[in-house]
Amino acid sequence: MASMETLTEFKDQVQELLSKDDKQQLHTLLDEMNISEVAALLQEMPDEAPLLFSLLSFNRAVHVFRILDFSLQRDIIRALPPARVAELMNELPPDDRVAFLEELPPKAVSELLKLLTDEERKITLSLMGYPEDSVGRIMTPDYIAVYPDWTVQEVLKYIRQYGKNSETIDVIYVVDEEGHLLEDLRIREFLLVDPQTRVRDLMDNRATIVLHTHDKQEEAIQLFRLNNRVALPVVNEQHILLGIVTIDDVLWIADEAYEEDIQKIGGTEAFDEPYLDAPIPLLVRKRAGWLVALFLSEMLTASAMQHYQETGIFIRFADLILFIPLIMSSGGNSGSQASTLIIRAMAVGEVKLRDWWRVMRRELISGFSLGCILGAIGFLRVTLWQKMHIYNYGPHWIWMAITIFFSLIGVVLWGSLIGSMLPIVLKRLGFDPAASSAPFVATLVDVTGIVIYCTVAALVLGYSV
């Protein structure tokens, strides 16, 4: 990836050549840059991106297009002439082509499908027939498969002839006559043996790690992470090899998944395009739903306070009101911390559904400890303010300090439990754990925090007087 200094230098050169309308020099400069540098440059100059893209040699243009953001890909396609679009669409790897098409409206997809050759259209429609979040959507049929009775010399000859169109030649797949996957072998195993060695002699009959077409893409991410692979085969129910998934596609999917989770944790619906490209009405719509839901939930806090107001607790001990923001924010903060930790742990596979009791036990201990720390600080605060005559909490100030201490223990402990358990419960019910966003947890804890605070106050202060 280009450094900021290098990218700025390239940008200055490009702008100078654009001002001179020197397309030949622009073409030369772009061809001298790395693919990642060109992509970064186009992202930095979106208005000039279609023109600069059109000046790239065709093969470089295909590689650059694959790693651009969708919004820029869309703008480039709109600006290119139909003949160039047809060439580009047919040359793109099937998985990258499908990833681009699935973001477009149906009418645009229909128009672009018409530009594909019969073979590429058939492959594309086949991949798009799988569920949107399945492994089938991101697999590619471009791989090298050989038979057990071939010699290494025959395999290498086959690779030289067809390997150029393969997504990767790091892994070679062994299949039988019906296409059933038998094993996968690293390319080095073919390079380090006698050319007359049979493929079956290289096989050790070990269990092959595979993905299935209808597996969730999240499962692919976990398998790649745990097995340190550059590619994994994809099979159907009959164990017939249909394609492969490569690490670059999985990293792309993982990045999108984590970005979506971050947005949900922040209390918004996931955006499918960059923030600056999203129209204002879309920004409002994506955020309004959560805000309205949270606002309605917060109304329960007012209802809870009204209930305890009727008991006279706030009238007899008016200074209790001063500490409501302190209590509510402490519970919300502890809940937000816990939910963020658990959502992240679940996303990377560190926490499974079966670990719920271990999580609860840890949060009981840590939540209680954190509550004692904050409670002690709250107790000390009331005591110091009273003793130093900064504020007079009345004759029952010591009982108010005790109320703050135990309330913070209860609220922080409860917030930690809610924040840690809610993602697990949602996952168990089939929902996205990231939906248990920090604002949602904070709002939930606010309501229950008021109940805990007022209950403790009624017990302690009621007993003291």
Residue 400 has pLDDT above 70, yes or no: yes
Measured from the Cβ of residue 165, the count of other Cβ atoms closer than 10 Å reads 10
What percentage of the chain has pLDDT greater than the value 90? 18
CA 184 to each of CA 140, 157, 242, 246: distance values in angstroms, whole numbers, following the listed order? 16, 18, 14, 14
CATH pick for 145-256 out of 3.30.465.10, 3.10.580.10, 3.30.160.110, 3.40.640.10: 3.10.580.10
Average pLDDT over residues 264-282: 63
- Please give the CATH number for the structural domain made up of 4-134: 1.25.60.10
| pLDDT at res. 406 | 93
| pLDDT at res. 429 | 82
Average model confidence (pLDDT) for the chain?
83
Average pLDDT over residues 287-302: 68
Q: How far apart are CA 202 and CA 193, in angstroms?
A: 9
| pLDDT at res. 105 | 85
Q: How far apart are CA 404 and CA 48, in angstroms?
A: 61
Residue ranges covered by each domain of the chain: 4-134, 145-256, 275-464
Evaluate whether 145-256 and 275-464 have a shared fold.
no
Residue 1 has pLDDT above 60, yes or no: no
pTM as predicted? 0.60
CA 325 to each of CA 307, 344, 369, 450: distance values in angstroms, whole numbers, following the listed order? 18, 28, 21, 10
| pLDDT at res. 291 | 67
> Does 321 or 81 have the greater pLDDT score?
81
| pLDDT at res. 327 | 86
Mean pLDDT lowest among 118-127, 232-241, 434-443: 434-443
Q: How far apart are CA 380 and CA 402, in angstroms?
A: 10
Average pLDDT over residues 241-265: 77
| pLDDT at res. 152 | 92
User: Which pLDDT band holds residue 314 (cuts at 50, 70, 90)?
Assistant: low
Q: Where are the beta strands (DSSP E) in 116-170?
A: 145-146
Residue 315 has pLDDT above 80, yes or no: no
| pLDDT at res. 318 | 72
| pLDDT at res. 256 | 72
Indicate the fold that domain 275-464 takes in CATH: Tetracycline Repressor; domain 2 (1.10.357)
> Does 314 or 320 have the greater pLDDT score?
320
Q: Which amino acid is at 451?
A: V
